[in-house]
Amino acid sequence: MKGFIFDLDGVITDTAKYHYEAWRNLGEKLGITVDEKFNEQLKGISRMDSLDRILALGNKENEYSLYEKKQLAAEKNAYYLNLLQGLGPDDLLSGVKEFLMAAQERNIPCAIASASKNAPLILEKLDVNDYFEAIVDPASLAKGKPHPEIFIRAAQLIGIEATEAIGFEDAQAGVDGIKACGMFAVGIEVDEPLIGVDISVNSFCDLDIDKLLEIQRNRHTAQ
Ligand code: BG6
Ligand code: MG
């Protein structure tokens, strides 16, 4: 038994840059500078938790009521959705489509473990819905990444143990979640190095699916 569990933003498509742009824009309005380095801490983190981190950065965590914070988060999301308007199948990151097709040929189930509530919409725009047997609903989780709950749930949804799955992540919070449930971690490293991954690549073009399965199998039996 095997399965692949994918993060979405920054793994399947480069929406991570749009999240950053949308948070930077909201930060400017609030007088808080969200730079690229700080943005690394927001990757993989839910919308409301990201807002809390930004407000804490500007020492403004006690300045807004829950209602106002929900409005700010909605404002960020509206800006983000506007940036997604032109998103289409050409925006899949290189090698992703080929990898998903290779998984399908080998009958290996794939699932999405993303903190994003926009995941179903984005997968539809990219026209890759059919490759995924399951998408974890982040609203159904008690804890976000780096907690492993989302990866454990994804494995359950495709009928395998977490230790039998291979997880793909571009964020440290996600890698930490994958490793916390004994899953094999492939890091998609573009900007910052990811600590604790089993394998690191720049893109799916650098991955040979059969070699990857063999490495994971050897690691699994050695444990
Ligand atoms: C994660 C992103 O995948 O989803 C975060 O890495 C984002 O940057 C989070 O904040 C929540 O996304 P959304 O689309 O529900 O606001
Ligand atoms: Mg990501």
Domains and their CATH numbers in the chain: 3-13+93-222 (3.40.50.1000), 16-86 (1.10.150.240)
Q: Give CA–CA dist 30/28, Å, rounded.
A: 5
Residues with Cβ–ion distance below 5 A, ligand 2: 7, 9-10, 170-171
- Which residue's alpha carbon is nearest to atom 8 within ligand 1? 43
For residue 83, what pLDDT is reported?
A: 98
pLDDT exceeds cutoff 90 at 221: no
- Ligand 1 pocket check for 145: Cβ under 6 Å: no
Q: Band of the pLDDT at 93, cuts 50, 70, 90?
A: very high
- Ligand 1 pocket check for 76: Cβ under 6 Å: no
- Ligand 1 pocket check for 9: Cβ under 6 Å: yes
**Ligand 1 center from residue 46 Cα (angstroms):** 5
This prediction's pTM = 0.96
For residue 61, what pLDDT is reported?
A: 95
Mean residue pLDDT of the chain comes to 96
Percentage with pLDDT > 90 across the chain: 95
pLDDT exceeds cutoff 80 at 118: yes
